[in-house]
Structure 1
Amino acid sequence: MKAIRGGYAVVGALAGALVLMATAGCSTDTAKADSPKAAPSSAKPTVSAATIAIEPANGTTDVKPSGAVKVSAANGKLTSVKVTGPDGVEVKGALAADGASWAPSDNLKVSTAYTVDALAEDSQGVVANSRSTFTTLTPEKDAGVSDNIADNGQYGVGMIVSVRFDRAVKNKDAVLAGISFEAADGTVVKGHWFNDKRLDFRPEKFWNPNTKVTIHYKLKNVETAPGVYGGVDKDEPFTIGRSQISTADVNTHRMAVVRDGQQTDSIPFTAGKAGFDTWNGTMVVEGMEGKTRMTSAGVTKSGSGDEYDLVVPHAIRLTDTGTYVHGNYWSGSVIGRSNGSHGCIGLTDTEAGSSSSPAGKFYDSTLVGDVVTVVNSKGPVVDAVNGLGGWNLGWSQW
């Protein structure tokens, strides 16, 4: 009997457990049915998938001022790039249309520390940032730039600006881009390379009188040749004065002087005799030299009877090879009648140089940059590279 009661007891316990399990099971199912479903997570990643690459690398020194800075992004787009120097001024630059890269639009300065700060976003809008600092190189060689313009100087309407370099220029396009002209009347000026060390500038036609002009040199940070830099950043203002254009007709032995469109003088002269013919073409006054010693060295042969060694008054230089308008006190009988010089244009003067002589008056009325054109000579046209002879090249050749 005990055994049976014990059996009942077990059965009862099991039944109770089953009831409890069934009840618990119903409670669990009910809870699941009544509870809301979990919403998907909308939190952004904390680390951006975008990566930024900056060249030059952080801490780099001796960086070239052109072409060395590059910023790019992968797995995202650049949103901001700032390159600043020690003065806080930002370097101008532009993002690519696809946001993948940035590059400066100007050369950096030499001998300068720069900081690059860049931001990029990935497709989730998570921002990445990067910073780099570097220093540009200090040039060891200078191109040695000079020109024939004095600050605030006044010049004639034929003035050609001639820029010379002590060291040969290889990067001519970069140098040309680093020199610009600003004329008050909007005159367009174009440069012409005669060789690796000479770059001349002029307008298509003679300058308008009384024009204010400024040359802007931005060459300090321009590499003119491997390892050589321009070394100069400056503005150089000058003014074009009144117009004076003189035409020397070798046939008539008269030089017509036209000032601001009106002829003011007709001066008798003597030009180069046979074998020493004066250059034809347009020449520009490049120097006012006053009294100048002139010799026949390199002009005539020794023992030819054409040797000379003279101190010449009122010397106005027209070419590098030695063509002048100058005072002549030794050939009075031929001036205005025939040609008896060794290539120069001789005007009546005294040995001491008189300000009241034709030579003296012309000298005192002349500016560097004035035009002297020779016509009807038997000589060839002056070479464009000889002095400021660039007007003898057409605009399409310039």
Structure 2
Amino acid sequence: MGIRKRWAAAVVLTVGVLVAGCGGGSESATTAATEQQAKNVAVQVPMAVSTTPANGTEDASPAGPVKVSVTEGKLVSVALTNADGKQVAGAPAADGTSWVASEPLGYGKSYTWTGTAVGNDGKEAPITGAFTTVTPARQISGSLNVGDDQTYGVAMPVAIEFSAPVTDKASVQKALKIETSVPTEGAWAWLSDTEVHWRPKAYWTPGTTVDVHANLYGVPHGDGAYGSQDVTVHFTIGRALIATADTQTHRFVVTKDGQQLFDFPSSYGLESDPGRVTHNGIHVVISKSPEVSMTNLKYDYKDVKVPWGVQISYNGEYVHGYEGSRYAQGNENVSHGCANLAPENAKLYYDEVIPGDPVNVTGSSIPLSEADRTYYDWALDWSAWLAKSAA
């Protein structure tokens, strides 16, 4: 009799559980309990602190990134000090979950993290760790061809020349940036192991402002070499002054912002002598001087003074005044490679021209090339230019 009663009670209890599982009120209670359990689990997620570079790193780039990050908590204090105890400048994020160094580190130096973080659960944890920056086998510097706050012509390329050959060109190119006030399509091209240029696909838009950022410090240049410093510059593109030097019509025509400014008779390099031919293609004005001394011992002249010299290559090509060839200007080519103008005409062009202005030589038998040791950037078509990129 007692056995049967206990069995019946068990049945009733089981039924009660089954009924409760199907009832609406019980479901709400179960859901609420589940949500509370989830909240309890979320609160229990531990705080995690990470440092970059990672603790124990021995070859970190001094250029960074150098930071501390925390999840499920906030940073209370952070300090990064070198071996001499000097703190590195830095600042926390507004939300308190990270701190980033704001100055570059030194090469071959040791650094130590200290500080405190507090988790969402109120528990504190120390910030610790140490790392060492890389010691370069050598350092390579880069110099720009453009000056700060200067104005250049619409054909001006941006050139960076390095103090030693760069073998990791892709790494270096990633550290180079061009910012323009006018959308401008352009690209970097390596013209040698020590020189990289950026030029637009077409001439610059007049009035464009340009910022160059060569963030080379801490960047591997290959074979254990690293960049020695960052280089930045800001410049402006001026009006569009474009000269066309036609060796067949013997004219030198200059336009300014699309309007013809000058049409001068000219004489170019003697076409029967390859050593005297004015090279074909778009030259870029390099510099100018009121007087230039010309010497070419191969052709038996030395220290010949000519007025209003505008240099357009490093192979001896200038636009300049020359009274001695006035008879040939507009009629035949007799020079040793330069564009000869009457002195008064050369002065008019000289007064207008600035570095970066293009001089497009046409009709000549020898093309401008790398051998001219100059800005031959525009002698390459766009596909050939892009092929020289390391990206």
With normalisation by structure 2, the TM-score equals 0.70
Alignment partners' CA distance in 2, 1:184 and 1:67: 28
Which residue matches 2:324? 330
Which residue matches 2:347? 360
More helix by share: 2
| Residues 198 and 323 of structure 1: CA distance in aligned 2, closer, same or farther (over 3 Å) | same
- Contact 2:268 / 2:278 at 8 angstroms: preserved in 1? yes
Q: Deviations over 1:67-123 (max 9, x none)?
A: 99999xxxxx976899975112369xxxxxxxxxxxx9x99643463538899x9xx
Q: Deviations over 1:190-244 (max 9, x none)?
A: 1100111000111111000011111112111212233432222243110000001
Q: SS of 1:89's equivalent?
A: strand
| Residues 188 and 289 of structure 1: CA distance in aligned 2, closer, same or farther (over 3 Å) | same
Amino acid at match of 1:308: Y
Which residue matches 1:347? 341
Alignment partners' CA distance in 2, 1:252 and 1:344: 15
Q: SS of 2:332's equivalent?
A: coil
Q: Deviations over 1:308-359 (max 9, x none)?
A: 121222111111222111121222211121100111111112xxxxxxx101
Query: Number of paired residues?
Result: 324
Q: How does 1:1-150 map to 2 (within 5 A)?
A: 57=55, 63-65=60-62, 85=80, 86-89=88-91, 109-111=105-107, 113=111, 115=113, 131-137=128-134, 141-150=138-147
**RMSD, matched Cα:** 4.0
| Residues 78 and 127 of structure 1: CA distance in aligned 2, closer, same or farther (over 3 Å) | farther
Which residue matches 1:394? 381
| Residues 289 and 247 of structure 1: CA distance in aligned 2, closer, same or farther (over 3 Å) | same
Which residue matches 1:170? 167
Which residue matches 2:202? 205
Q: Deviations over 1:34-81 (max 9, x none)?
A: xxxxxxxx999x9x8x998987545x766444799999xxxxx97689
Flag structure 2 segments of 5+ consecutive residues without an equivalent: 1-36, 81-87, 94-99, 386-391
Q: SS of 1:397's equivalent?
A: helix
- Contact 2:185 / 2:200 at 8 angstroms: preserved in 1? yes
Which residue matches 2:33? none
Q: SS of 1:369's equivalent?
A: coil
| Residues 55 and 252 of structure 1: CA distance in aligned 2, closer, same or farther (over 3 Å) | closer
- Contact 1:156 / 1:368 at 8 angstroms: preserved in 2? yes
- Contact 1:116 / 1:133 at 8 angstroms: preserved in 2? no
Structure of higher CA gyration radius: 1
| Residues 368 and 70 of structure 1: CA distance in aligned 2, closer, same or farther (over 3 Å) | closer
Please tell me whether residue 268 in structure 1 is matched to residue 265 in structure 2.
Answer: yes
Which residue matches 1:283? 283
Counterpart of 1:193 (choices 190, 193, 198) is 190
Amino acid at match of 1:280: N
Amino acid at match of 1:267: F
- Contact 1:255 / 1:267 at 8 angstroms: preserved in 2? yes
| Residues 268 and 81 of structure 1: CA distance in aligned 2, closer, same or farther (over 3 Å) | farther
Alignment partners' CA distance in 1, 2:361 and 2:52: 62
Q: CA deviation at 1:178?
A: 1.3
Q: CA deviation at 1:187?
A: 1.4
Alignment partners' CA distance in 2, 1:222 and 1:80: 33
Q: CA deviation at 1:381?
A: 3.9
Please tell me whether residue 312 in structure 1 is matched to residue 306 in structure 2.
Answer: yes
Once the two structures are aligned, what percentage of the paired residues are identical? 32
Q: CA deviation at 1:145?
A: 1.0
Alignment partners' CA distance in 1, 2:193 and 2:138: 16
- Contact 2:285 / 2:356 at 8 angstroms: preserved in 1? yes
Alignment partners' CA distance in 1, 2:325 and 2:49: 85
Q: CA deviation at 1:188?
A: 3.1
Flag structure 1 segments of 5+ consecutive residues without an equivalent: 1-41, 72-76, 92-103, 301-305, 350-356
Alignment partners' CA distance in 2, 1:204 and 1:171: 25
Which residue matches 2:389? none
Alignment partners' CA distance in 2, 1:385 and 1:67: 40
| Residues 337 and 145 of structure 1: CA distance in aligned 2, closer, same or farther (over 3 Å) | same
- Contact 2:112 / 2:128 at 8 angstroms: preserved in 1? no
Alignment partners' CA distance in 1, 2:335 and 2:112: 64
Alignment partners' CA distance in 1, 2:65 and 2:181: 36
Q: Deviations over 1:354-378 (max 9, x none)?
A: xxx1011111110100010011122
Q: SS of 2:308's equivalent?
A: strand
Which residue matches 1:239? 236
Amino acid at match of 1:373: N
Counterpart of 2:225 (choices 225, 228, 231) is 228
Q: Deviations over 1:16-50 (max 9, x none)?
A: xxxxxxxxxxxxxxxxxxxxxxxxxx999x9x8x9
Which residue matches 2:22? none
Which residue matches 1:14? none
Q: Deviations over 1:241-287 (max 9, x none)?
A: 00011111111110110100011110111100021211111111012
With normalisation by structure 1, the TM-score equals 0.69
- Contact 1:178 / 1:219 at 8 angstroms: preserved in 2? yes
Alignment partners' CA distance in 2, 1:347 and 1:280: 18
